């Protein structure tokens, strides 16, 4: 047995209002006045008070990015080209401010500024050879665990797959729960459920070990407090931010499972976003995760969240085939969920019937 030697985020700040410390955190990392910090910020913050608190100096730049669609390899390539054209030297660093979409873009661009070619060539495991430039992640919505993970999930020309590498994790993360204040309720639920589903899939998987379990159980406990108890808004924001962190840590040393495998298929074919896609699938997985699905429905009920129906109602056989193939391509997820003989358990037809319910 060979054990994996994983990197972790080496520095993290946590606390309400900690965003105001960003300037002093970045200062020692500034290479010189020519080498800017580039801030990728979710365009939902354009014109908001947060922008006045971004510690700009010299020729630092803010690039507003829409998270309407999930990040694409061609988008990463375009951002890298734009930065290289605009500045004679490599930036001092990239700072991603937003949800999983912005965090993943920041990681990917930081990697691709030092590695040649298209981001699509690095989708997979351990294909990145050179360290990224300094990169910082600042989540403004909690749940994905992208702030701790060693992947950046990208839609490429051929597949939706992460750039998984030791160089992917952030050098610095700043967790300021106050930044999540404005998140709309539905989005708060969908992205938070990404974390909840990470826990359920990790804790019920065959890859489980004490490392993953310790983080997964803590994250699950926090999710229960946030979504089932009546705690204050401030407490809830703090706890969900830490749930996301622990949920991400939990899957670092295990894997996700069926909801994620199917959700990737939905996302690839129909562009369904990760959080809602997971929920759309997970509600029908009671035969695999009975307790997890039962509690999910209680949370949904408590917060009056309605999920859309009929998403797959009018798909052709070919379209189902594409989704099923994308989904079956994620072998470690199926192995984790169902064991070595997963192909006997999850047949093509059984998966088709599950997709047809959505
Ligand atoms: P997101 O980044 O797409 O943002 C969702 C919505 O919330 C957007 O409309 C955004 O504008 C809005 N929003 C964010 N912060 C806000 C705030 N403070 N106030 C108001 N609105 C705000 O959503 P997400 O669920 O965080 O991320 C999904 C992405 O994360 C997907 O692309 C998925 O592939 C990726 N992901 C990555 C990992 C990883 O480990 N790298 C893990 C899970 C998911
Ligand atoms: Zn997820």
Four-point Cα dihedral 268, 269, 270, 272, nearest 10: -30
Q: Is 100 in the pocket of ligand 1 (CB under 6 A)?
A: yes
> Which-ligand-closest: CA of 201?
2
pLDDT band at 163 (very low <50, low <70, confident <90, very high): very high
- Of ligand 1's atoms, which has the minimum distance to the CA of residue 267? 34
CB of 137 closer than 8 Å to CB of 248: no
Segment 111-127 mean pLDDT? 97
For residues 257 and 149, is the Cβ–Cβ distance under 8 A?
Answer: no
Q: What is the pLDDT of residues 277-286, one digit of tens each?
A: 999 999 999 9
Tens digit of each residue's pLDDT (9 = 90 or more) over 181-221: 999 999 999 999 999 999 999 999 999 999 999 999 999 99
pLDDT at residue 286 in the model: 98
- Does the pTM of the predicted model rise above 0.90? yes
* 331 pLDDT more than 90: yes
Residue 41 CA neighbour count, 13 Å, CB half: 20
User: Which of 49, 67, 105, 184 best tests ligand 1's pocket when mutated (most atoms within 8 Å of CB)?
Assistant: 67
Structural domains for the chain: 12-180 (3.40.50.1970), 185-357 (1.20.1090.10)
Q: How confident is the model at residue 1 (pLDDT cuts 50, 70, 90)?
A: confident
pLDDT of residue 5: 92
Beta bridge partner(s), residue 62 = 39
The answer, yes or no, to whether any atom of ligand 1 lies below 6 A from the CB of 257, is no
Task: Determine contact, residues 152/163, Cβ cutoff 8 Å.
Answer: yes
Residue entry with tokens 């319910």: 357
Structure-block tokens of residue 153:
């999930």
Ligand 2: distance of its center to the CA of 19 in Å?
25
- Ligand 1 pocket: which of 274, 279, 326, 333 to mutate (most atoms <8 Å of CB)? 274
What ipTM describes this predicted complex?
0.99
Q: How confident is the model at residue 2 (pLDDT cuts 50, 70, 90)?
A: confident
Q: How much is the pLDDT for 159?
A: 82
Is 327 buried (19+), middle (13-18) or exposed (0-12) by CB count in 10 A?
buried
Q: What pLDDT is attached to residue 160?
A: 86
Write the burial class of residue 109 (CB in 10 Å: 0-12 exposed, 13-18 middle, 19+ buried): buried
DSSP-assigned letter for residue 308 = P
% of the chain at pLDDT higher than 70: 100
Task: Provide the mean pLDDT of the chain.
Answer: 97
């Amino acid at each position: 047995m060979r054990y994996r030697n994983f990197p972790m985020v080496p520095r993290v700040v946590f606390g309400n209002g900690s965003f105001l410390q960003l300037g002093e955190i970045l200062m020692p990392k500034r290479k010189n006045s020519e080498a800017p910090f580039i801030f990728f910020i979710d365009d939902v913050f354009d014109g908001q008070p947060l922008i006045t608190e971004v510690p700009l100096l010299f020729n630092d730049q803010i690039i507003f990015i829409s998270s309407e669609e999930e990040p694409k390899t061609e988008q990463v390539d375009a951002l890298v080209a734009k930065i290289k054209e605009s500045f004679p030297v490599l930036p001092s660093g990239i700072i991603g401010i937003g949800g999983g979409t912005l965090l993943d873009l920041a990681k990917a661009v930081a990697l691709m500024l030092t590695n040649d070619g298209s981001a699509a060539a690095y989708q997979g495991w351990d294909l990145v050879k050179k360290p990224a430039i300094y990169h910082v992640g600042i989540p403004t919505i909690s749940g994905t665990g992208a702030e701790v993970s060693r992947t950046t999930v990208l839609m490429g020309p051929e597949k939706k797959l992460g750039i998984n590498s030791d160089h992917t994790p952030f050098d610095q993360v700043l967790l300021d729960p106050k930044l999540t204040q404005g998140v709309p309720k539905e989005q708060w639920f969908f992205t938070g459920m990404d974390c909840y589903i990470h826990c359920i899939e990790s804790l019920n998987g065959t890859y489980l070990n004490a490392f993953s379990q310790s983080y997964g159980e803590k994250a699950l406990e926090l999710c229960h407090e946030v979504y089932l108890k009546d705690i204050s808004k401030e407490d809830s924001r703090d706890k969900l931010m830490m749930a996301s962190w622990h949920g991400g840590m939990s899957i670092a040393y295990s894997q996700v499972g069926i909801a994620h495998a199917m959700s990737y298929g939905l996302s690839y074919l129909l562009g369904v976003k990760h959080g809602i896609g997971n929920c759309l699938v997970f509600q029908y997985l009671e035969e695999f995760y009975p307790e997890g699905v039962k509690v999910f429905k209680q949370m949904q009920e408590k917060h009056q969240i309605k999920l859309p129906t009929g998403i797959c109602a009018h798909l052709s056989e070919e379209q189902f085939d594409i989704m099923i193939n994308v989904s079956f391509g994620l072998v470690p997820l199926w192995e984790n969920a169902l064991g070595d003989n997963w192909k006997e358990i999850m047949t093509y037809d059984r998966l088709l019937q599950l997709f047809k319910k959505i």
